[in-house]
């Protein structure tokens, strides 16, 4: 492995490589030889780095650092669904410029600025490399809010799985639902889930 590659973190951008004195010619030679893997345009990962649990989320986080993994993508990470979306689903604040990411395929949701940070947490997409993601409760509420777009089976399935997990907090679902203007649908879904 090239000595100058050792100066780079496990995951890095073209800009990071340039800032550390790596010529683009060397960067693309490493890619072509397999010493680095291109996760997305301008985002690379060293081949000798520990395996990433969520490489697509990692790539998207580097391309859109202010975005938050949401909806079905977040549900998959939290174990609330077996469904794997065809695109990484991310939320951006409504007035921000949505990122254009061709690979990995990405679907962008615009969420209200006033409630955008509610329920934001982190998950390590690779060892020591956290990405922003909505917590399990916010994910369930978002799936119910967007059930007509994403599908009722996914929304209600995620709710049922959430409620079966030790330490689940139905009260937090209702709190988030109130703040996200989805109290009625979430309360009704909880009533149905608790009755079955």
Task: Please indicate, yes or no, whether residues 114 and 172 belong to a single structural domain of this protein.
Answer: yes
> Is the peptide bond between 61 and the residue preceding it cis, with omega within 30 degrees of 0?
no
Task: Please indicate, yes or no, whether residues 35 and 74 belong to a single structural domain of this protein.
Answer: no
Output the pTM of the full model: 0.89
Q: Length of the chain in residues, anyone?
A: 196
Task: Please indicate, yes or no, whether residues 40 and 74 belong to a single structural domain of this protein.
Answer: no
14 burial (CB, 10 Å; 0-12 / 13-18 / 19+) is middle
Q: Is residue 163 part of a domain?
A: yes
Task: Please indicate, yes or no, whether residues 36 and 108 belong to a single structural domain of this protein.
Answer: no
For residue 3, give the nearest of 30, 34, 37 by alpha carbon.
30
**Apex CA 54: angle with CA 48 and CA 56, to 5°?**
95
**E strands present in 2-119:** 11-13, 36-40, 43-46, 68-69, 88-93, 106-111
Q: Confidence band (pLDDT; 50, 70, 90) for 160? A: very high
Task: Please indicate, yes or no, whether residues 80 and 153 belong to a single structural domain of this protein.
Answer: yes
Task: Please indicate, yes or no, whether residues 88 and 11 belong to a single structural domain of this protein.
Answer: no
Give residue 29's Cα distance to chain centre.
30
At 71, give phi and psi (nearest 5°): 50, -130
Residues 134, 127 contacting (CB under 8 angstroms): no
Give the residue-averaged pLDDT of 156-180: 92
Task: Please indicate, yes or no, whether residues 7 and 95 belong to a single structural domain of this protein.
Answer: no
Residues 22, 2 contacting (CB under 8 angstroms): no
Q: Is residue 164 part of a domain?
A: yes
Total domain count, the chain: 2
Write out the residue range of the structural domain in which residue 29 sits.
3-46
Task: Please indicate, yes or no, whether residues 29 and 78 belong to a single structural domain of this protein.
Answer: no
Task: Please indicate, yes or no, whether residues 64 and 143 belong to a single structural domain of this protein.
Answer: yes
The tens digit of pLDDT for each residue in 7-47 reads: 889 999 999 998 988 888 889 999 999 999 999 999 999 99
Task: Please indicate, yes or no, whether residues 42 and 59 belong to a single structural domain of this protein.
Answer: no
- DSSP structure class, residue 65: T
Task: Please indicate, yes or no, whether residues 59 and 124 belong to a single structural domain of this protein.
Answer: yes
Structure confidence at residue 83 (pLDDT): 87
Name the token pair of 83: 């469904």
Q: Is residue 196 part of a domain?
A: no
Q: Is residue 195 part of a domain?
A: no
């Amino acid at each position: 492995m090239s000595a100058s590659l050792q100066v780079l973190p496990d995951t890095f951008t073209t800009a990071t490589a340039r800032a550390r004195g790596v010529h683009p010619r060397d960067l693309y030679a490493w890619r072509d030889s397999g010493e680095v893997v291109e996760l997305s345009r301008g985002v690379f990962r060293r081949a000798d780095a520990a395996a990433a649990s969520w490489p697509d989320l990692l790539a998207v986080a580097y391309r859109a650092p202010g975005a938050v993994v949401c909806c079905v993508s977040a549900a998959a990470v939290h174990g609330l669904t077996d469904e794997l979306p065809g695109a990484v689903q991310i939320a951006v604040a409504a007035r921000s410029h949505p990122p254009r990411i061709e690979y990995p395929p990405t679907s962008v949701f615009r969420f209200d600025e006033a409630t955008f940070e509610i329920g934001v947490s982190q998950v390590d997409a690779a060892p020591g490399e956290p990405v922003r993601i909505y917590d399990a409760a916010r994910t369930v509420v978002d799936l119910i809010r967007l059930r007509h777009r994403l599908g009722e089976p996914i929304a209600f399935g995620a709710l049922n799985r959430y409620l079966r997990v030790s330490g689940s907090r139905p009260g937090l679902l209702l709190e988030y639902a109130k703040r996200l203007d989805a109290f009625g649908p979430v309360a009704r879904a909880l009533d149905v889930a608790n009755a079955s």
